[in-house]
Amino acid sequence: MEDFEANKTQPPPATVWLWLGYGALCVGMFMAILDIQVVVTSLAVIEDALKIGADRMSWVQTTYLIAEIISIPLTGLLIRIFTIRWLFAGAIFTFTLASIGCAFSYDFISLIVFRVLQGFAGGVLIPLVFAAIFLLFGKGLKQTIATTIGGLLAVLAPTLGPLTGGWITESYTWHWLFLINVLPGIVTLVIGIFCLPRNDTRLSLFKTLDWISLIYVAVGLAALLIGLKEAPERGWLAPQVSGCFVIFAVFVFLAIRRPTSAISFSLLRDRNLAFGCILSFILGIGLFGSVYLLPLFLAFVHGMGPLQIGLVILVTGIAQLVTAPFAVQVDRYVDARLLSAIGFAAFAIGLLMSGFQTIATGYDEMFWPQVVRGAFVALCILPPIRFALGFIPREHIADASGLFNLSRNLGGAIGIALIDTIVFSRGPEHADRIMELIKLDPAKAASVLGLTVDALPDPQDPLGLMGIMDVIEQASITLAINEAWLVMGVITALALVVLLAMGPIRVPAPQAPTGVRP
């Protein structure tokens, strides 16, 4: 590979070696996202193996997400210091090494330490891909193909996660949940070092780095995720939760106010990027919410294991793969706002279609909502990436990519917290309502429970009611999950309002030195 300077206005030639290097970046991102879903399907197995209490087990995921979401906005800074090549090498090496550490953890503390390292490295690997799209490829078909590959893998990983995790859990020991990262990690490390463009590191930037702003951002984002984790159980207005949200707001505000903040929040003055981040946030709510809700329904209502769940939701992944080539072509020729509107409208419809399930809903009824979501999700990703990052000057692409990806992950975290709140607060309320219906309107109660009226016990028969409590619980959770689907659908549909408010896409003036409009 020939050397090239990172600050040149033109990307390097799109050789086979460059595509191999970009492929290594995409595999690294895929591993980082997949790791979240793979592990979450088997937390109970890890809990039993390491004798970790159930009350602490959720921190195995929370610490990973906190570390990941802190590192995402730092990626732009890290690229300037280490370059894409060496940042990727360091991130994938750390991720692989931490995966080995997780596999051989012997207690809760050792597992948490390695999960933090894993999460921080994984958080770098995600926005690195989206920055590379615009730094390594010129505008046109090559950039569109690169965007499609990166975007498709970003949404495919959560879909394949339960299937992969379930297969590993049922076929091997829990250690392989982490060890599956080792071979791809080594291979992509070698490919990345040899195939990614080479340019000089700028370690001197450490001397002028505003470390205080980094601390503010880290503390603020960590507080936000802890608050979101506790909100469904304690209540969104509980002192502990409200305190976390206040800490987040104060510390992020302080970071923004720093004159030389290490995170380039000023880039959000660019209207294209700002609206792109809003759409990314909304997509995070709907995308992560759907990937979370469907397994929740299959596990709690149908009692399916991880492998069975993975096979059911594989429909979404297949729909994504089949429609990706079409998305690539239309993204080249059709207005980005129009495509985004079509994508978000269809994705919202796909979410709403799942909001009318019953306890008898099976594979056939879940098939078409998944097809709709999978077929149109690419149009929620490719066009917004194109107008959010496509007009940012090369020297600011990496920072903009960090903000764009941070928005999506924050949306996902908030979406899952909302879902938990709806499901676990409304579930008991629906159970009480069903009990009342058994007394006041047996025919309607029987319809909700999927039973005949004759199968309902006498309301005055406690033992008879105990006999159908499992069915009542399944029906109440189903109704609560339906409400969560509908909420996710409505929130996703708000993207149409955002696109309308955005107006025509404005191209920044080429002479602007920073790509930031006052």
Whether residue 5 is contained in a domain is answered as: no
The letter for the amino acid at 243 is G
Task: Verify that 244 and 169 share a domain, yes or no.
Answer: no
Looking at residue 482, which CATH number applies to its domain?
A: 1.20.1250.20
Task: Tell which of 226, 243, 261 closes a domain.
Answer: 261
Whether residue 95 is contained in a domain is answered as: yes
* pLDDT at residue number 187: 97
Express each pLDDT in 328-352 by its tens digit: 888 888 899 999 999 999 999 999 9
Task: Verify that 182 and 217 share a domain, yes or no.
Answer: no
The letter for the amino acid at 296 is L
Domain membership of residue 317 as a residue range: 270-518
The answer on pLDDT for 206 being more than 90 is: no
Which whole-number Å values give the CA distances from 69 to 42, 221, 246, 444, in the listed order? 22, 7, 18, 46
Task: Verify that 294 and 427 share a domain, yes or no.
Answer: yes
Given a contact cutoff of 8 angstroms between Cβ atoms, the answer to whether 152 and 27 are in contact is no
Number of residues that this document lists for the chain: 518
The letter for the amino acid at 444 is K
42 or 116, higher pLDDT: 116
The answer on pLDDT for 515 being more than 70 is: no
Task: Verify that 190 and 274 share a domain, yes or no.
Answer: no
Structure tokens at 156: 């495919």
At 291, the pLDDT band (50, 70, 90 cuts) reads confident
Rounded CA gap, 263 and 73, in Å? Answer: 7
Task: Verify that 187 and 308 share a domain, yes or no.
Answer: no
Task: Verify that 153 and 221 share a domain, yes or no.
Answer: no
Task: Verify that 187 and 255 share a domain, yes or no.
Answer: no
Write the DSSP string, 420-452. HHHHHHHHHHHHHHHHHHHHH-HHHHHHHHT--
Rounded CA gap, 88 and 32, in Å? Answer: 12
Whether residue 197 is contained in a domain is answered as: yes
Task: Verify that 193 and 335 share a domain, yes or no.
Answer: no
Whether residue 2 is contained in a domain is answered as: no
Task: Verify that 25 and 144 share a domain, yes or no.
Answer: yes
Rounded CA gap, 276 and 384, in Å? Answer: 5
Query: Which residues, at least 6 apart from 207, have a Cβ–Cβ distance to it below 8 Å?
Result: none
Q: Outline where 334-441 has alpha helix (H).
A: 336-353, 363-389, 394-440
Whether residue 89 is contained in a domain is answered as: yes
Task: Verify that 469 and 502 share a domain, yes or no.
Answer: yes
Which whole-number Å values give the CA distances from 314 to 94, 139, 141, 480, in the listed order? 30, 33, 29, 24
Rounded CA gap, 25 and 75, in Å? Answer: 14
* Residue 428 CB neighbour total at 10 angstroms: 13
Task: Verify that 193 and 328 share a domain, yes or no.
Answer: no
What distance lies between CA 223 and its chain's CA centroid? 19
Rounded CA gap, 418 and 288, in Å? Answer: 11
Whether residue 465 is contained in a domain is answered as: yes
Phi and psi at residue 130, in whole multiples of 5°?
A: -70, -30
The letter for the amino acid at 394 is R
The count of structural domains within the chain is 3
Whether residue 319 is contained in a domain is answered as: yes
Express each pLDDT in 372-419 by its tens digit: 999 999 999 989 998 999 889 888 999 999 999 999 999 999 999 999
Whether residue 117 is contained in a domain is answered as: yes
Task: Tell which of 168, 184, 204 closes a domain.
Answer: 204
Express each pLDDT in 39-73 by its tens digit: 877 777 888 888 887 667 778 888 888 999 999 99
Phi and psi at residue 41, in whole multiples of 5°?
A: -75, -15
**Average of per-residue pLDDT values in the chain:** 89
Task: Verify that 330 and 182 share a domain, yes or no.
Answer: no
Task: Tell which of 185, 204, 223 closes a domain.
Answer: 204
Rounded CA gap, 171 and 384, in Å? Answer: 40
